[in-house]
Structure 1
Amino acid sequence: EDASPRKSAWGLLVAGGLGASLLALHAVVTPFVMPALRRVCLPFVPATSAQIENVLQMLRGRRGSLVDIGSGDGRIVIAAAKRGFKAVGYELNPWLVWYSRYSAWRDGVHQNTKFYISDLWKVSFSHYTNVVIFGVPQMMPQLEKKLEEELQHNARVIACRFPFPCWIPDHITGEGIDTVWAYDLKTSKRETECLKMTSGTEF
């Protein structure tokens, strides 16, 4: 006579455990899957040691604030903070932001770093003088237009993996996927007609 209540109790425990597991899996996986569902996907691909070194090379002699657009696990922000920059990272994935904050604390640079969970298209970068972006080809035309409208003339933009379509870089270093392009807005020239053709792209 006691078998049915016991079976019901075990059934509830199993169902509850399965539900909790699925909920936890959803919480972990969703931040990584959602960017892929956006029209322009900025996937998380960790920066290589060579890429970080090339970015730091482009920052030599520079001062002021720095922002990494799509900061991932925070490697660029932390490396820049170790070089004396007040560095900020914007990242859509909350798990990566939390990990970045932990890494900055672990490396002793948490006072010079900040990480925000935010969509790059909803942020103004007007008060930054150094900008780093690991982009994808589909987003570069619109991002080029956004940065040109927002940044001051003394800003430097450092693009990794893919260059901007219209700006002419002032410096290039690295090879293959480790290539880095640096653009000084006060000297970089762009092909106006090219920008007009790409400015109508929607994201």
Structure 2
Amino acid sequence: MDTFSSIISALFFVLGISALLSIVITSWRNGISPMPTSALVRHAAMAELRRIGGITNLVEAGSGWGMLALQAAKINPAWNIIGIENSRIPLAVSRVMACWSSVRNVSFLRGDLYKYPYGKADVVICYLFPGAMKRLDPLFREELTAGASVISICFALPGWTPDRIVTCRDMYRTKIYIYKK
């Protein structure tokens, strides 16, 4: 192997290790790693979005790799969709996928999902863990306007009564909780 190839290989190795460390450190801080939503669960969540109607602004809290936001952007180009993520690598992947896709109504922001102003969101969709849902509860109660919806994949929003619970046909029988404020 020549010197140039060795340098390029070493560079990719260092970048790969750096990316992995970035994900591990952010996952440790968050208490969970970014997990993509399976195709079956995404399909069921999109069906629920279609049922809601009247959506202008949709926020994916903790957008991870951007799968939910990108799928939603494809089903209705009139929706303004924002994905909030604090992990740099999944955020970068989301942004690249948004650029490569044909959708133009989605943007991904680096930020803290607990500090995002949810007041203009018609729908918040999320696939988070129970601790995050507990922390979001008071924010949603305070900031979401009457009639806004929350779609939570896998984990219920404590203290809220879902309008619907959808059980997906995946191997985990994943539940999707749909709430209306």
The bucket for the TM-score relative to the shorter chain is 0.7 to 0.9
Pair 120,177 (structure 1): closer, same or farther in 2 beyond 3 Å: farther
CA-CA distance at 1:22 after TM superposition = 7.8
Counterpart-to-counterpart distance in 1, 2:179 and 2:61: 15
Q: Deviations over 1:118-170 (max 9, x none)?
A: 12122211111110011111222221111111111121000001111210000
Taking the TM superposition and a 5 Å limit, the aligned residue runs for 1:140-159 are 140-159=133-152
Pair 21,36 (structure 1): closer, same or farther in 2 beyond 3 Å: same
Q: Deviations over 1:91-130 (max 9, x none)?
A: 1112211211221222210x21100111212221111111
Report SS of the residue matched to 2:114: helix
Matched residue, 1:178: 174
TM-score scaled by length of structure 2: 0.83
2:26 to 23, 35, 50: 35
Matched residue, 2:121: 128
Contact 1:31 1:95 survives alignment (8 Å): yes
Counterpart-to-counterpart distance in 1, 2:35 and 2:138: 24
Pair 140,116 (structure 1): closer, same or farther in 2 beyond 3 Å: same
Matched residue, 2:3: none
The letter for the 2-side match of 1:95 is I
Contact 2:114 2:135 survives alignment (8 Å): no
Identical residues among aligned pairs (%): 26
Contact 2:149 2:179 survives alignment (8 Å): yes
Counterpart-to-counterpart distance in 2, 1:20 and 1:69: 33
Pair 25,75 (structure 1): closer, same or farther in 2 beyond 3 Å: closer
Counterpart-to-counterpart distance in 1, 2:43 and 2:15: 37
Counterpart-to-counterpart distance in 2, 1:21 and 1:55: 37
TM-score scaled by length of structure 1: 0.75
Counterpart-to-counterpart distance in 1, 2:16 and 2:96: 22
**2:66 maps to 1:54:** no
> What stretches of structure 1 of length at least 5 have no aligned partner?
1-13, 186-203
Report SS of the residue matched to 2:135: helix
> What stretches of structure 2 of length at least 5 have no aligned partner?
1-5
Matched residue, 1:69: 61
Give the aligned length.
170
Pair 65,32 (structure 1): closer, same or farther in 2 beyond 3 Å: same
Q: After the TM superposition, which segments of 4 or more aligned residues of structure 1 sit over 6 Å from their partners?
A: 19-22
Matched residue, 2:82: 88
CA-CA distance at 1:23 after TM superposition = 5.5
CA-CA distance at 1:21 after TM superposition = 7.3
Q: Report which of the two structures shows the higher radius of gyration computed on alpha carbons.
A: 1
